[in-house]
Every structure is written in C-alpha cells, then in structure tokens.
Amino acid sequence: MDHFLYRDGRLHAEDVDLSQVAAEVGTPFYCYSTATLTRHFQLFDDALSWGPHLVCFAVKSASNVALLRVLARLGAGMDVVSGGEYLRATAAGVPGERIVFSGVGKTREEMRLALEGGVRQINVESEPELAALSEVAALMGAVAPIALRVNPDVDARTHEKIATGRKEDKFGVPLSRAREIYAEAARLPGVEVVGIDVHIGSQLTDLAPFEAAYLKVAELTRALRADGHDIRRLDLGGGLGIPYTRSNEPPPLPADYGALIERTVGDLGCEIEIEPGRLISGNAGILVSRVVYVKEGEGRRFLILDAGMNDLIRPAMYGAHHDIVPLAEPAPGAETREHDVVGPVCESGDTFARARALPPLAEGDLVAFRSAGAYGAVMSSEYNSRPLVPEVLVDGHHVAVIRPRPTFDEMIGRDTIPPWLA
C-alpha cells in the first residue's frame, strides 16, 4: 500500500497534487510520502511486538536526513554501512544506542567514529576486521559491542547482484568456523560479544530462505551459549521484498515474517533486531519525469524522458521493473500502445522499459515511476554532467524540498583547476 493515488484525475502524494510540485521544482524529482513511511515502519514494529526488539532501518536504501528523521521519531534504529551513513543517522537525531554498524570493509577511522559517537553494536564480517576493531577500541580505552556476521550458505533466490548469504558471497564468516572465531573474539581485549548477525539478501519474496537461515542461527545460538558466550541479541538482517508491479503476487507481509521469526528463534530469549530498508522506503517514493519527445522509430515507439539512468539506475543495473504511470489519470478503457521508455543519457543502457504498454502520451506530459523510494536517489549520480535531482517530502498537505537541485555553477564549481593550468 502507498499514498500515491489519483484524485480528480490527477496523481497526488497524500493531499498534494504532483503536477503542481513539478511546476514549482521542475522535473525530474523524487517525492516521498510520510504516511507510507510511517505505515510501513509500524507494520514491522507491530510484527515483532511479541518480544523485545528494535527495527533498524537500512540507511543504504534511502539516506536523506529528513526521511531518517521521520523514522527516528517513530523510534526506529538505523543500520549503517559507512561513516557517512552513521553521521546521517546522528544528524537525524538517532542516538548511538540505536545504531548498528554493518558492512564488509569498515576502516579504522569509521570504527573510531562509531566508538566515539556511541554505537549499539558493530557487526563484524571477518577475522582481520575483528582484530582491527579490538586494536582500535583498546587504544581508545573502549570496548566495542559486537555481533559476528555468519554466512549460513542459504540461497536467497533473488537477483544475483543482491544475494549475500551464499558461501561464495563476500559477506560474513563461514558458519562452519563461527564457534572458532567467537572463541577468538572472547580472548580479545577491545570487544564484547553480544549477539549473532545474519543477512542473506535483498528483495526476497519467499519466506523459506529466511526460515532455513534462522534455524541455523538458532542452532548456533545454543552452541555458542554452551561454549560460554552471552548471546543476547540476534540481528536477523532485512531483505523482505516489495511488489514492483501491481500485477504480481504480493510478497509475504511483515506480520508473516514476524511470525516466522517467533517460530524459529523466539524461544531463545534474545532481543531481535531486523534491518528492513526496501519494504519501508520503496513504495514510499516515486520519481516524476517529463516527456521530452515521442519518437517514432522503425517498428518501435520511443518515449524519451528527462530522467535518465543516472537518476534511477535500477533498470539498467538490475533489469528492474518499475510501473510507469501518467500523472493525468487515463480515461477508463483508454487505448494503450507499446513504448520503449528511455532517458537522455548517452548510453544504450539508458532504458527504463521495452515494449511497455502505456496510454497515449505527448511531449510535455508527466509520468511517475512507482516504487522508486529505495535505491533510487541514493544510487543517483551526475553522469553526463546532469545535476542530481531534487527530493521532496510530503506530509498531508505539507510539502518541502528536502534536497534541492544544484545549479550547473554549483556542480562545476566543485572542480578545481591546478595552478599550472591556470
């Protein structure tokens, strides 16, 4: 469910007419719904109400500080994977005790940043990282709370580029060596074992891989406790998928996911942490774009937009589908034609959809890419020297630009010419 609906023939974000936003801020732009963010967070929070828990939003999916502030006020924790994301979370008002620091390549500088500012736990992904963290913490006179990320070798049955829990993936340590590495951690001076971390991938639409992974986590928890470790938290990752097209069978609901967690690990008495990103932010955002040209090719019709792959890279990078809808509501039973929907970037890969059936559209018309709130703006770039697009947040009838579009002068002004070329 989202809050982008037609009203009086025009697509609205909650109570805001998106065509009016386009007139004021220009296109393309991202727009987010506070009501959708709120509802989706609360679904996860409610799903774990059977026990102690913390829902940590995956900042990598949507990192604008205003969006993080919305979630922070609801009591969300944050899952961060870089020093920059840590600082965004703290800037949004999230205390360190609600921040989990994940990621396979943390630097010593990032470790110091988190330990100085406060952190709930650091999810360690390798033995070299474990040694480095202990060294950094000991030099600071600190003790880092850690969970070891274990790789359960479970196929998440998702896209190759977003699967993270198989033995050939770069994340985590092998489950077969977990007890050995936990024993090593217990001997180090700068770390304190508090839990276990697992994350098997993103955009999962089946609960079976989660169940397989969590049963292995339950078994490991019992074994580690028998070894003398105080395992009191289980970080079960994120990855629950969203429906990118309304014609698809919907993925499992957060309530089903919460029930699975209770069934597999609920008897262990651990505090549960989860790290959803896409299911909270994905359907809470859209990308609005304008038709530049309608081009008749030989046997194909091209809809050329002012948004490009630099603004929304998911279709080019993953072959991802986004529903594309006009801002002006089509008449019931309106005729459709097949279009190749493309952008202006000088790449053949700058293609959003092929042979997509759309209602009649003309130069100047506005369209929206649905379900663009996750991994949209955060993965955008200035390729082809195209400025980053604005981000807009709506709350009821309120609307605000939460990231302005930079001018060309601002974009170019970040470059410097060395003295010998002046």
Out of 31, 56, 270, 346, the active site residue is 346
Structure tokens given for 306: 């002012």
**Torsion angle defined by CA atoms of residues 154, 274, 56 and 159, in that order, rounded to the nearest 10 degrees:** 30
Give the span between the Cα atoms of 250 and 239, in whole angstroms.
15
Look up residue 352 and give its amino acid: F
Give the span between the Cα atoms of 395 and 31, in whole angstroms.
11
Residue 56: active-site member? no
> What residues have CB less than 8 Å from 230, skipping those under 6 apart?
193, 194
Give the span between the Cα atoms of 356 and 175, in whole angstroms.
44
Structure tokens given for 352: 């959003």
Give the span between the Cα atoms of 352 and 313, in whole angstroms.
9
Query: Which residues of 39-174 form beta strands (DSSP E)?
Result: 53-58, 77-80, 99-101, 121-124, 144-151, 173-174
Q: Write the DSSP assignment of 108-136 as a string of letters.
A: HHHHHHHHHH--SEEEE-SHHHHHHHHHH
Give the span between the Cα atoms of 422 and 410, in whole angstroms.
20
How far, in whole angstroms, is CA 27 from its chain's centroid? 23
Query: Which residues of 178-334 form beta strands (DSSP E)?
Result: 191-197, 233-235, 271-274, 285-296, 301-305, 324-326
Question: In a 10 Å sphere around its CB, with 0-12 CB exposed, 13-18 middle and 19+ buried, how is residue 420 labelled?
Answer: exposed
Helix axes 108-117, 83-91, angle to 10 degrees: 20
**Torsion angle defined by CA atoms of residues 161, 272, 193 and 156, in that order, rounded to the nearest 10 degrees:** -20
Give the span between the Cα atoms of 106 and 132, in whole angstroms.
10
Omega prior to 276 cis, within 30 of 0: no
Structure tokens given for 36: 């959708």
Measured between alpha carbons, how far is residue 333 from residues 329, 330, 336, 358 in Å?
Answer: 11, 8, 9, 12
Task: Give catalytic residue positions.
Answer: 346
